[in-house]
Structure 1
Amino acid sequence: MLSSLLAQKKSISFAGCITQTYFYFFLGTVEFILLAVMSFDRYVAICNPLRYTVIMNSSICFLMVLGCWVGAFLSVLCPTIVVSRLPYCGHAINHFFCDIAPLLQVACIDTRLIELLNFLLSSLVVLSSLMLTAVSYSYIISTIMKIPSGQGRQKAFSTCVSHITVVTIAYGSSIFMYVRPNQSYSLEFDKVAAVLTTVVTPLLNPFIYSLRNEKVKEVLKEAVIRIFSRS
């Protein structure tokens, strides 16, 4: 997609379009399931610190990561196959890249059942992983509030801030895009939201996670002081 944009190429083969659609949803689903797994990791680290190495051993970590990939593969495979079998009346889609929603817009048949299937699968993936994340953090917050010292609470909470920020951005943008009924669908709104999920969020994630590093914080402080001192 990036190479096509840089070359100002506006065409893509049908097989390439379906492949792009599949990997867009596949990798996005992996991210959501992985965020839920990471919240469980934070839960074990804060609520059961003495048993962390026993619970989160290498075998369990491998199975969790494998489950993320297998679960995402299976959940995205069915709707992608359905979309690839549809008859289409046009060859131009109103979007930056191949997505299920703009593809359904140029289909020659009634796609309401497919849109319902897409809505239900998106809701299942996003909301179920969000619920697991919320449950994990409810226990985490409850445990942190029981820590007697303020410094201890701050240290425990600081380990979760970056993950909470990434979760908020990822789930917020995706819920607006996919977990909503067809009546409120707007392709123009989705094009704007797509920029957030595909460009802005990946750029912010490394910066958000690196803020936990003390050296990075010091460099940022020095840069801010240098900027304000010049002004």
Structure 2
Amino acid sequence: MADRLFVLHNPKAGGTSVVSALRALFSYEQQCPRIENDAAEHRLHAGRYSAYAGYSFYAGHYGRDIHDAVGGRTPCVTNFRWPVARIVSLYRYFRLVVEIDDAQMIDPRFRAVALAKTLSLDDFVTCDDPAVEIHTRDHHFRQLTASGWSLESDGDLASVKTFIDAMPWFFVCEHPQESMIWASAVFQGRVGPVPHLNETGAAEAAAQLSPWAYRALDAKNQRDLALYRHALDGLLRAVSPAADAAWASTAMRMSA
């Protein structure tokens, strides 16, 4: 079993239950407190994360910048979801679940939520407002290169794919059973069950968008789509019969 783990939690991609299952592997004292959860908090930290070093378990909507600052060689895992479905789910969450008052409606920190409550789905996903695009343009790619909370990124697809390939495990939202079969092998059966995820399916998400909005959103997320396909291929290889030896090798490395 891993004695350290850093979860790069991709928002609205079925990761909450996964994080809970992984968190149970570590004592309370081993778990790092919450670091940041939005772009405003990311700007406040300004790269200063040394106070959070020394824990065995990290999990949150954090980027690779935080891992590199505090996690060192701590193994990383993450969660994937088809980008179109993830963003449709994000819009519905902002519009229907998140509650903000009149003062917050005009607060720049809550601008994305305020726009989700006033714009149609088509207009939200095609909006070029930076407060929205930080959520809707290649968010996972930016998270795995530096931070999802910044629109700036100088990473490239090849290096991110290499980073993903080095992960001992990851979760694909559309394939929970296969993901947890892999987890059972990697974590030596120590990860508890993940509750059924009532997520918006790919077909349902696509049907909610007009053709022009779908194409625009797809164009905004070409790198996230490439990473999703890469991860899905990796997951299916990992759960194939030929992967048994690799599973054993990974488990041995993580318990060393």
Length-normalised TM-score, structure 2:
0.25
Larger radius of gyration: 1
Length-normalised TM-score, structure 1:
0.26
Greater length-normalized contact order (CA 8 Å, ≥ 6 residues apart): 2
